Homo-oligomer: A and B are copies of this chain.
Amino acid sequence: MRLLLLQLNPVIGDLAGNAGKIRDEVVSAGRGAADLIVTPELALTGYPPRDLLLFRDFIGRSVEAARTLAAELEGYPPVLLGGVQSNPAPAGRPLANVAFLLHQGRILQTFGKTLLPTYDVFDEDRYFEPAKGPQILDLKGVRIGISICEDIWNDADFWHRKRYHSDPIPELVGAGARCLVNISASPFTAGKQQLRERMLSGIAQKYRIPLVYVNQTGGNDDLVFDGRSCAFNARGELIARAAAFREDRLALDLFQDRPGEIRHDDFSPESEIWNALVLGTRDYVHKSGFRRALVGLSGGIDSSLVAAVAAEALGSEHVLGVLMPSPFSSEGSITDAQALGKNLGIRTTTLPISGIMDSFDAALAREFTGLPRDITEENLQARIRGTLLMALSNKSGALLLSTGNKSEVAVGYCTLYGDMNGALAVIADVPKTMVYRVARWLNARGPHPVIPETVFLKAPSAELRPDQKDQDSLPPYDILDEILHAHIEQHASPAEIVAEGSDPDLVYRVARMVKGAEFKRRQAPPGIKVTDRAFGTGWRMPLAARDWDRDRGR
């Protein structure tokens, strides 16, 4: 069984473009390239298409595009194409998430998805009716068990708790499948590929059946798909793996015992996160129809890393760094930002904001008479900068990238309509401690360090008042990040975190800050997901709600 895996990076909604790319790939591979060519889940629409699926006309055109593609590929090997169709039954959800078998010039057969993820960032029960029974393709005398993404993620031996009552994989094996093909659109989080490979290897071994897994790649809004399509033999050994974070084509023979190609990869979290940020930024900008970006540079570690990501993603000639010093800015901040810009080869410009600060103070003087300066004036500076950046963005057609990290965004140490402004929040899911680690990794990667050493050494500061330091308002970042990990990624309550030994005052204060910042995050731009729980589409919290775990003992 010679397979050709097309690890593609589709554009959401671009039926003609996505189909055209598949056609070109199949044609260029040639008529004898494989027994079966396999694309990722929903390759025709891109994953996730979200509420585009609620447009009936989109579904109709999507099926039409699959039919057209089938006709164009008559005489080529059969193609297993991820797509969507209506549910013809008089009851049930309106659609089905399917794999079309394009063969002999038409849609010869259709295989449905059985398990529909509806948790975290996934909403598939919103759209799809589950398939019933084993989905089997008989091809050249071989029974192939077809599954779609989540279908292979409910193994009773692998998971502590099964989310679904059925498991399609043993059903496929029971129906006589001699190999398994899974088409996926599985988003990246740090460390996930190792999890996938342990799980897939275990399934291949348990059922003594070779298995191939074809994943999407590319960035789609908050989600990055890391590709890394792979195959295992019946002993559970990895026999092939496609590239990470880019399109790839991988040919393999499932019943041959010699290993196929295993592309070089790097599973260190720093490397993975860097690659995800670069791909996510590049695709967000390009798929939105832009080429250029701009970043406000404060001389701090966050904006330095974001500028480095942007330069790698878009090319340094397409990135503008903007310095906006105030009377509270340190000399080091300006020189560090300039040094960074020089190292990255990006253009920088400097727009001092003190004149604008004065004009706001004058306009507000009467209303603010007799009132002390407070956080209002700090927010004003951030909003002046945000407004300048948006003016540059509007005038130049470059997208603004925001630079807040996950720790800040979690506790609301950021200004809505100020430094939160942007089309994309590049590092909004990277905790501050990991920002430093990725930045260190980047400097070590070479060819030469790009982030000045002084940026690592100085204490983090928003520089919104004289001698301000982050740690005046926040606990040390290593402690903060531990509490946030438990609270955000593991949904531990303050009481549960305290029970594990943390300082109650600190934990309850952090939890209050997290809750108090929900209204800011609701209005934040999408951030690139790299952890198991990112703010955004996978974090759906009420706003006008009361704390249910207030510190009751106090």
| A54-B221 in contact (CB<8A) | no
| B165-A91 in contact (CB<8A) | yes
Most buried by B among A491, A541, A546: A546
CB-defined interface of A380-407 with B at 8 Å, one 1/0 digit per residue? 1001101110111011000000000000
> In the complex, which of the residues B54, B283, B352 contacts A544, with contact meaning CB atoms closer than 8 Å?
B283
Chain B proximity of A507: nearest CB distance (Å):
13
Chain B proximity of A162: nearest CB distance (Å):
4
Given A383-B387, A544-B288: A55 and B164 interface contact (C-beta under 8 Å): no
CA distance A305 to B165 in the complex (A): 52
Chain B proximity of A445: nearest CB distance (Å):
27
- How many copies altogether? 2
Chain B proximity of A495: nearest CB distance (Å):
6
Asked whether A496 is an interface residue with its Cβ less than 8 Å from the other chain, the reply is: yes
**Contact sample, A vs B, 28 pairs, CB 8 Å cutoff:** A11-B544, A12-B544, A13-B542, A14-B545, A46-B542, A48-B542, A50-B540, A50-B541, A55-B493, A55-B549, A61-B548, A61-B549, A118-B118, A123-B540, A288-B519, A288-B543, A349-B366, A355-B359, A360-B387, A364-B391, A367-B392, A374-B394, A374-B395, A376-B395, A380-B387, A386-B417, A387-B417, A519-B525
Asked whether A153 is an interface residue with its Cβ less than 8 Å from the other chain, the reply is: no
| A388-B360 in contact (CB<8A) | yes
Most buried by B among A90, A94, A491: A491
CA distance A359 to B391 in the complex (A): 13
User: Nearest B residue to A548 by beta-carbon distance?
Assistant: B13
> In the complex, which of the residues B46, B496, B523 contacts A525, with contact meaning CB atoms closer than 8 Å?
B523
CA distance A61 to B546 in the complex (A): 14
Most buried by B among A12, A284, A495: A12
Most buried by B among A356, A366, A545: A545
CB-defined interface of A114-131 with B at 8 Å, one 1/0 digit per residue? 000011000101100000
Chain B proximity of A484: nearest CB distance (Å):
14
Asked whether A49 is an interface residue with its Cβ less than 8 Å from the other chain, the reply is: yes
| B544-A284 in contact (CB<8A) | yes
> In the complex, which of the residues B15, B94, B119 contacts A548, with contact meaning CB atoms closer than 8 Å?
B15
CA distance A512 to B417 in the complex (A): 26
Which residues of chain B are near A366, meaning CB under 8 Å?
349
CA distance A287 to B515 in the complex (A): 13
User: Nearest B residue to A363 by beta-carbon distance?
Assistant: B351
Which residues of chain B are near A331, meaning CB under 8 Å?
none
Which residues of chain B are near A46, meaning CB under 8 Å?
542, 545
Asked whether A143 is an interface residue with its Cβ less than 8 Å from the other chain, the reply is: no
| B368-A388 in contact (CB<8A) | no
Most buried by B among A12, A91, A164, A548: A548
Within 8 A of B (CB), among A27-45: none
| A417-B423 in contact (CB<8A) | no
User: Nearest B residue to A547 by beta-carbon distance?
Assistant: B13
Chain B proximity of A473: nearest CB distance (Å):
16
Most buried by B among A163, A360, A367, A544: A544
User: Nearest B residue to A380 by beta-carbon distance?
Assistant: B391
| A364-B390 in contact (CB<8A) | no
Within 8 A of B (CB), among A1-39: 11-15, 17
CA distance A547 to B52 in the complex (A): 10
Asked whether A184 is an interface residue with its Cβ less than 8 Å from the other chain, the reply is: no
Given A379-B394, A383-B387, A522-B526: A540 and B51 interface contact (C-beta under 8 Å): yes
| B57-A539 in contact (CB<8A) | no
CA distance A92 to B165 in the complex (A): 6
